[in-house]
Chain A
């Protein structure tokens, strides 16, 4: 049993362990439903694009596509095994399904169906999943802490972990241009807008140095790039110069850029990800560095190997070390 805190607080308590919570911090610039709108735009140009979901259209922003193209939108019911099997069948007939659900259901419930009917048959299905990593306070049922590890381990599968609305908009046509299966993590609803300030452009398979720094190199993906950029600004006040290498494509890994940046001497390398420390970007980078004989001081930031608590996301991100403040504290402690 968890110990219960009943002490009233003077601050308004963040009490929500709701399934759906915005990851945007207060006052942050956001964009609404970037995936849904980008898919509508893509579908106007590419008639083979179809949308499919397992009773989570509204919660993956796919309903925007469904409203625009009702005859290209397939509601498969709350049946993820069917969703991905049927997506494979439609892809075999020449269509390009964008199939959406929550990351937990794609990675855990439907794994064999994706493995066999999509990855093994190398079908052109784009799997786009909301609530990746720790982006729900609802508890382990909806926290996909291990999705990257599972899909990384699947041959043929490209794996994308975008940072913000700007990147999601660019990633939609980019993954459509890639022939073959893709797993993309999705941020939905009001999605933070960050990378447009950095003159950033998404390219599949490419890591991008979003910010250079002399003392620390954070190699990150997804929302941890956003956190790393906040951290870099904060630590600049302490005269700590933090660079951020954003790696949105977890597989195939941009080994050349990672080795080049991690190989620059004198920097602490920190890999930060919204994912369990097991089997994600951190271990992918560690393995690459070891195999390549590049041995910087190396640390990992990510979720612990445990079933995570229910609670408000800011509380949980602090607790598990992936809030901007927690990232800054860890980095300072390692210097």
Chain B
């Protein structure tokens, strides 16, 4: 889908707002969810789905689509929000989030949801699968790309580095990975749990084309996706996106940082209001 050709298409900022809104509404349905992560990554997802990627909403498994792999399966709430905005998942299903028999379980799994390309949950799987996808697309002579979103906590997993090394070895220029550096994982700040900096230098040493951006600056995100797509050297591309957990809802941005932030029942409506206020501001 090329949204730029649609005269009345919402702009990317509006898309990002709607992705956040969808996520908050799902969070309210369940009274929980990885909402702070969803809010921090909404800008990246908006650019991926409404600027960078090629797909057909009515045919999520269209052979020519760009593949989007969600390695950090707990970000499913964010991806569902984007899939709903993209028209791949009907908006009415938002009300089913996390309930029995729903196509939108708390953790992203391939068999459940249209547009969900892999089963996450266990961290550190996505990039390895992406290497296989990228090799497979090249075998088929396809010009589709493989996008993989993963989290900074996953950098602790050895399998991530196996995949990073091999993507460069195989010169997978059809692979674009985005690491969400929100500096928060289960046991605390990611950089304290296991120091991963200097990340850009590490990834460059592994042979990747690397850009580090403010992942909540839409112009920067657009520019980074464009540069990743149009880079000409035969190497995989990494976008290191520094993000702010809770982005777009000031009282969540300021809440004490935690992997799974608590939102009280009455706060979901407040969060939606705060988000709406930020939109009109």
Give A residues with C-beta under 8 Å from B.
50, 74, 76-77, 79, 81-82, 84-95, 97, 112-113, 116-117, 120-122
Q: Which of B121, B136, B165 contacts A89 (CB 8 A)?
A: B136
B102 sits at the interface (CB 8 A) = no
A-B contact pairs, 9 of them (CB 8 A): A79-B159, A79-B165, A85-B128, A90-B132, A90-B136, A92-B129, A93-B133, A97-B132, A117-B128
Partner of B128, one of A86, A92, A121: A86
Partner of B139, one of A84, A93, A117: A93
Would you call B137 an interface residue if the criterion is a C-beta within 8 Å of the partner chain's C-beta atoms? yes
Q: Please tell me if the beta carbons of A92 and B136 are within 8 angstroms of each other in the complex.
A: yes
Once A77-B169, A93-B140 are accepted as A-B contacts, the answer to whether A117 and B162 lie under 8 Å apart by CB is no
Contact of A113 among B117, B125, B137, B166 (CB under 8 A): B125
Extra 6 A-B pairs, beta carbons < 8 Å, given A74-B135, A113-B128, A117-B119? A85-B129, A85-B132, A85-B163, A90-B136, A95-B139, A120-B109
Q: Which residues on A sit within 8 Å (CB–CB) of B130?
A: 89
B198: chain A residues at CB < 8 Å are none
Interface residue B110 (Cβ < 8 Å from any Cβ of A): yes
Q: Assess the A76–B158 pair: CB atoms within 8 A.
A: no
Contacts of B166 in A (CB 8 A): 76-77, 79, 82, 86
- Is B9 an interface residue, CB under 8 A from the partner? no
User: Considering the complex of A and B, which 4 residue pairs feature the smallest CB-CB distances, nearest first?
Assistant: A89-B132, A85-B128, A93-B136, A86-B132
Q: How many angstroms from the CA of A77 to the CA of B159 in the assembled complex?
A: 12
Residues of B with C-beta under 8 A to A82? 128, 131, 159, 162-163, 166
**Residues on B with beta carbons closer than 8 Å to the beta carbon of A77:** 162, 165-166, 169
- B169's nearest neighbour on chain A, judged by CB, is A77
What residues of A have a CB within 8 angstroms of the CB of B127 in the complex? 85
In the complex, what's the smallest C-beta–C-beta distance from B135 to chain A, in angstroms? 6
Kindly state whether residue B111 has any CB partner on chain A within 8 Å: yes
Minimum Cβ distance to chain B for residue A180 (Å): 13
Please tell me if the beta carbons of B136 and A116 are within 8 angstroms of each other in the complex.
no
| CB of A123, distance to nearest CB on chain B (Å) | 9
- Compute how far the CA of A122 lies from the CA of B136 in the bound complex, rounded to whole angstroms: 17
Q: How far is the CA of A97 from the CA of B137 in the complex (A)?
A: 14
Whether the pair B162, A79 counts as a contact (CB closer than 8 A) is: yes
Q: Which residue of A lies closest to B124 (CB)?
A: A81
Residue of A nearest to B164 (CB): A82
> Is B125 in contact with A117, judged by CB distance below 8 angstroms?
yes
Are A92 and B133 also in contact (CB < 8 A) when A77-B165, A81-B162, A82-B166 are? yes
**Secondary structure of the B side of the interface?**
helix
Whether A95 contacts B119 in the complex (CB less than 8 A), given A81-B159, A89-B131, comes out as: no
Is B132 in contact with A87, judged by CB distance below 8 angstroms? yes
In the assembly, what is the distance between CA of A82 and CA of B166, in Å? 8
- Cross-chain pair count, CB within 8 angstroms: 97
In this complex, what residue of B is CB-closest to A71? B139
What string of 1s and 0s marks CB contacts (under 8 Å) between B107-149 and chain A?
0011100000111011011011111111111011000000000
* Separation of A91 and B139 alpha carbons in the complex (Å): 12
Q: Is the CB of A81 within 8 A of B132?
A: no
Q: Which of A95, A97, A117, A122 has the most CB of B within 10 A?
A: A117
The reply to whether B132 and A94 contact each other, CB–CB distance below 8 Å, is: no
Complex alpha-carbon distance, A313 and B52, angstroms:
58
Q: Which residue of B lies closest to A85 (CB)?
A: B128
CB of A117 within 8 A of CB of B118, answer yes
Taking a contact as CB atoms under 8 Å apart, the answer to whether B131 and A85 are in contact is yes
In the complex, A88 Cα to B53 Cα: how many Å?
22
Q: How far is the CA of A92 from the CA of B68 in the complex (A)?
A: 13
For A93, the chain B residues whose CB sits under 8 A away are: 132-133, 136-137, 139-140
Distance to closest chain A CB from B124 (angstroms) = 8
Which residue, of B127, B129, B136, B139, has the highest number of chain A Cβ atoms within 10 A? B129
Given A82-B131, A82-B166, A121-B111, answer yes or no on A94-B125 (Cβ-Cβ < 8 Å). Answer: no
Residue numbers in B under 8 Å from A89 (CB-CB): 128-136
Contact of A121 among B110, B134, B135, B165 (CB under 8 A): B110
Q: Across the interface, which residues of B come within 8 angstroms of A86, CB to CB?
A: 128-129, 131-132, 135, 163, 166
Q: Closest chain A residue to B109 by CB distance?
A: A120
Within the assembled complex, what's the spacing in Å between the Cα atoms of A84 and B129?
A: 8
Q: Could you tell me the distance between the alpha carbons of A94 and B144 in the complex, rounded to whole angstroms?
A: 15
Check B121–A113 contact: CB distance below 8 A. Answer: no
**Interface contact B132-A113, CB-CB below 8 Å:** no
Q: Indicate which residue in B110, B117, B140 contacts A94 across the interface (CB closer than 8 Å).
A: B140
CB <8 Å contact, B135 and A116: no
Q: B136 contacts which chain A residues (CB < 8 A)?
A: 89-90, 92-95
Interface-centre pick from A86, A92, A116 (highest chain B CB count, 10 A): A86
Chain B residues near A121 (CB-CB < 8 A): 110-111, 118-119
A81 to B130, CA, bound (A): 13
A258 to B181, CA, bound (A): 56
A116 touches B119 (CB 8 A): yes
A253 CB → nearest B CB, Å = 25
For residue A317, give the distance in angstroms from its CB to the closest CB of chain B: 35
Q: A85–B169 contact, CB under 8 A?
A: no
Beta-carbon contact of A117 and B129 below 8 Å: yes
- Known contacts A90-B135, A117-B118, A121-B110: does B140 contact A85 (CB below 8 Å)? no
Residue of B122, B134, B139, B140 near A116 (CB, 8 A) is B122
